[in-house]
């Protein structure tokens, strides 16, 4: 409890000293002071006028052992503050060498849709972007370029602890009339993430070439909707990335010969592609749909999860739904200690390419995969080429007629029919505690096969389980019970003392409100 008290006190004291600033492209002024009554003009102006206090390295190019020093010392905005953006065009956000001790949040004012043409955060730490519309379409002059760049850099230094959430990121607002050439001309990369410990959450990514490309370590990409892409939906190239509960759909064939993937990964080592290892990736609860309109004139045959140039070490692939028109539903070529459990991988189309498989096979150098598990999956085919080492495959069901298993395959509802062969026929060993809907499993004591656990309406999980949660957690040292009677009065007294001793400063720029 004492640990929790100190932790919460730190949070509350930080909040006490944080400040809010406002930026309004319609009614603001470059000569404003950032208050609600006298806002600044655009976010780009706030950065170029050096109104953000931060830190940067003492010398460039960055070298190990460099030290951070103040940047724009005394500027009104500083660590822990929030910049509220009102509707209108804010230009571009370029932050090179901005390291904050606590996050600075750039957030849309409620009911407003602030617009940026691009974001580039390079060599920086502790930034949060929330609720923004970011598109090359917003620029006065269109340039096909990467929309959001978050990355480490040899000159500016490492980048980490960056968050982009609740944003609408797109290359074109409406692609319904686009030709193949329009896709080539207009669609670029939405997210190029080479930073570490980065979160992309609850974003909508539309009409892009490559939607999300992550090569940094320990990144968390979750609950995003990727709708319309002509290259790859997600590229996961960094170690220990977690990609969960994303929807990736509507791939487009522009006639360039590119093999489009819902999710793709490959290793890079001293000898180039396929000579390294990608370690510890988690793919959980995602849905990949080739295209929602089977008659779309540019519908492509998307590979679902395509990992062809291992090694892929210690991966967990669970609770994913892959609906595609290709052989490669989930494919790992060069896998070690990986598990593919409780996925639904279905080709709803006739003819070739297809039907879809789950496959673990040889590394491209001919070395066999080893020590992997394929379990509790619904798939058209399970493919394990002869010669692999210790690949366990059990409790999988091969699907030839989707209507015998799923609620409505025609609308991509792949939840289970109550009496189908997948119900109560799986293994509880390595079973995910939640299904693709984040409902606890098993319902009837034995796991179902596939991404979804059948359950009656209103049921959220087994007694004492983790139904409806995030799949478990760890003891943080804080009691989860009801705090003692002294707890909240002590917190309030501490915060009052801090506020009395250090009153919140007025941090507005020069000028009157």
Same domain, 55 and 116: yes
Average pLDDT, the chain: 90
Read off the pLDDT of residues 5-55 as tens digits, 9 standing for 90 and up: 444 444 444 556 799 999 999 999 999 999 999 999 999 999 999 999 999
Same domain, 324 and 232: yes
Looking at the chain, the whole-number percentage of residues with pLDDT higher than 90 is: 83
Residue 367 lies in a domain: yes
Residue 58 lies in a domain: yes
Same domain, 277 and 386: yes
In this predicted structure, the answer to whether residue 393 has a pLDDT above a threshold of 80 is yes
Dihedral pair phi/psi, residue 7, rounded to 5°: -65, -50
pLDDT class of 468 with cuts at 50, 70, 90 = very low
Average pLDDT over residues 450-459: 95
In this predicted structure, the answer to whether residue 474 has a pLDDT above a threshold of 50 is no
Residue 470 lies in a domain: no
DSSP 3-state percent helix, strand, coil across the chain (nearest 5): 10, 35, 50
Residue 385 lies in a domain: yes
- As given in the structure block, the two tokens for residue 408 are 């409505």
The domain of 422 spans 205-432
Residue 15 lies in a domain: no
In this predicted structure, the answer to whether residue 108 has a pLDDT above a threshold of 70 is yes
Same domain, 60 and 157: yes
Average pLDDT over residues 501-505: 44
pLDDT of residue 469: 35
Average pLDDT over residues 352-366: 95
Among 126, 150, 170, give the residue marking a domain's end: 170
pLDDT class of 507 with cuts at 50, 70, 90 = low
- Number of domains present in the structure of the chain: 2
Cβ density class 93-128: b for 16+ within 10 Å, e for less: bebbbbbbeebbbbbbbeebebbbbbbbbbbbbbbb
* Residue recorded with tokens 């009837």: 444
Same domain, 246 and 156: no
pLDDT of residue 127: 98
Read off the pLDDT of residues 218-256 as tens digits, 9 standing for 90 and up: 999 999 999 999 999 999 999 999 999 999 999 999 999
Cβ density class 184-221: b for 16+ within 10 Å, e for less: eebbbbbbbbbbbbbbbbbbbbbbbbbbbbbbbbebbb
pLDDT of residue 119: 98
pLDDT of residue 192: 98
The model's pTM: 0.90
pLDDT of residue 349: 85
CB 165 within 8 A of CB 129: yes
How far apart are the C-alpha atoms of 217 and 358, rounded to whole Å? 26
Read off the pLDDT of residues 189-208 as tens digits, 9 standing for 90 and up: 999 999 999 999 999 999 99
- Identify the burial level of 487 via C-beta atoms within 10 angstroms of its C-beta, where 0-12 means exposed, 13-18 middle and 19 or more buried: middle
pLDDT of residue 305: 97
pLDDT class of 352 with cuts at 50, 70, 90 = confident
pLDDT class of 472 with cuts at 50, 70, 90 = very low
pLDDT of residue 470: 37
Average pLDDT over residues 86-91: 98
Among 397, 432, 467, give the residue marking a domain's end: 432
Of 465 and 382, the one with more pLDDT: 382
Looking at the chain, the whole-number percentage of residues with pLDDT higher than 70 is: 87
In this predicted structure, the answer to whether residue 312 has a pLDDT above a threshold of 90 is yes
- As given in the structure block, the two tokens for residue 184 are 């080539």
How far apart are the C-alpha atoms of 215 and 237, rounded to whole Å? 5
pLDDT of residue 476: 36
Among 432, 451, 478, give the residue marking a domain's end: 432
pLDDT of residue 492: 53
What is the side-by-side strand order in the sheet with 247-251? 88-89, 114-116, 133-135, 168-170, 204-208, 225-229, 247-251, 287-289, 321-324, 344-347, 378-379, 397-398
pLDDT class of 506 with cuts at 50, 70, 90 = very low
Same domain, 276 and 404: yes
Same domain, 344 and 211: yes
344-347 and 378-379: which strand pairing?
Answer: parallel
Same domain, 96 and 28: yes
Same domain, 103 and 224: no
What is the full DSSP assignment across 401-420?
-GGGTEEEGGGTEEEEPTTS
72 CB-near residues (< 8 Å, 6+ apart): 50, 51, 52, 53, 54
Most confidently modeled range among 344-358, 402-416, 463-477:
402-416
Give the three-class secondary structure for 20. strand
**Angle ∠(499,501,507) on CA atoms, nearest 5:** 60
Same domain, 415 and 294: yes
Same domain, 422 and 351: yes
Residue 197 lies in a domain: no
Q: Cα-atom radius of gyration of the chain, to the nearest Å?
A: 25
- As given in the structure block, the two tokens for residue 36 are 């609600």
* Nearest partner of 219 among 265, 149, 160, 166, judged by Cα: 160
Residue 222 lies in a domain: yes
pLDDT class of 149 with cuts at 50, 70, 90 = very high
Same domain, 26 and 133: yes
pLDDT class of 96 with cuts at 50, 70, 90 = very high
Residue 420 lies in a domain: yes
pLDDT class of 257 with cuts at 50, 70, 90 = confident
């Amino acid at each position: 409890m004492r640990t929790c008290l100190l932790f919460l006190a730190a949070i509350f004291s930080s909040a006490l000293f944080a400040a809010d600033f406002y930026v309004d492209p319609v009614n603001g002024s470059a000569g404003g002071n950032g208050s609600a009554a006298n806002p600044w003009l655009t976010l780009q102006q706030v950065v170029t006028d050096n109104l953000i206090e931060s830190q940067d390295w003492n010398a460039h190019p960055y070298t190990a052992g460099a030290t951070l020093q103040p940047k724009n010392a005394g500027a009104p905005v500083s660590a822990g503050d929030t910049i509220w953006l009102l509707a209108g065009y804010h230009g571009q956000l370029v932050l090179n060498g901005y390291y904050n001790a606590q996050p600075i949040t750039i957030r849309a004012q409620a009911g407003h849709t602030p617009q940026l043409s691009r974001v580039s955060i390079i060599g920086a730490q502790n930034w949060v972007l929330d609720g923004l519309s970011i598109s090359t379409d917003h620029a006065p002059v269109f340039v096909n370029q990467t929309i959001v760049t978050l990355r480490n850099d040899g000159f500016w230094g490492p980048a980490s602890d960056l968050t982009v959430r609740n944003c609408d990121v797109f290359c074109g607002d409406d692609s319904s009339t686009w030709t193949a050439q329009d896709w080539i001309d207009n669609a670029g990369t939405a997210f190029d993430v080479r930073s570490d410990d980065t979160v992309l959450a609850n974003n909508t990514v539309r009409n892009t070439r490559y939607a999300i490309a992550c090569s940094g370590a320990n990144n968390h990409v979750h609950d995003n909707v990727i709708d319309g892409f002509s290259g790859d939906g997600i590229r996961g190239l960094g170690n220990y990335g977690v990609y969960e509960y994303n929807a990736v759909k509507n791939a487009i064939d522009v006639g360039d010969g590119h093999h489009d993937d819902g999710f793709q990964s490959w290793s890079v080592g001293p000898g180039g592609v396929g000579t390294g290892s990608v370690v510890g990736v988690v793919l959980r609860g995602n849905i990949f749909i080739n295209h929602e309109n089977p008659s779309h004139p540019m519908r492509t045959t998307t590979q679902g999860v395509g990992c062809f140039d291992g090694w892929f070490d210690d991966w967990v692939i669970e609770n994913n739904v892959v609906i595609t028109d290709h052989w490669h539903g989930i494919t790992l070529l060069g896998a070690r200690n990986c598990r593919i459990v409780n996925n639904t991988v279905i080709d709803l189309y006739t003819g070739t390419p297809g039907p879809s498989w789950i496959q673990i096979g040889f590394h491209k150098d001919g070395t066999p995969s080893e020590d992997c598990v394929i379990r509790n999956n619904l798939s058209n085919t399970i493919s394990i080429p002869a010669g692999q080492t210790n690949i366990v495959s059990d409790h999988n069901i091969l699907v030839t007629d989707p209507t015998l298993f799923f609620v409505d395959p025609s609308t991509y509802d792949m939840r289970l029919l109550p009496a189908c062969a997948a119900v109560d026929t799986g293994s509880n060993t390595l079973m995910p505690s939640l299904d693709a809907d984040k409902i606890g499993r098993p319902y009837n004591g034995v796991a179902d096969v596939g991404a979804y656990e059948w359950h009656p309406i209103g049921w959220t999980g087994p007694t004492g389980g983790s139904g409806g949660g995030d799949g478990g957690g760890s003891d943080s040292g804080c009691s989860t019970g009801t705090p003692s009677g002294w707890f909240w009065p002590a917190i309030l007294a501490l915060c009052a003392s801090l506020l009395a001793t250090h009153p919140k400063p007025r941090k507005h720029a020069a000028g009157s409100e």
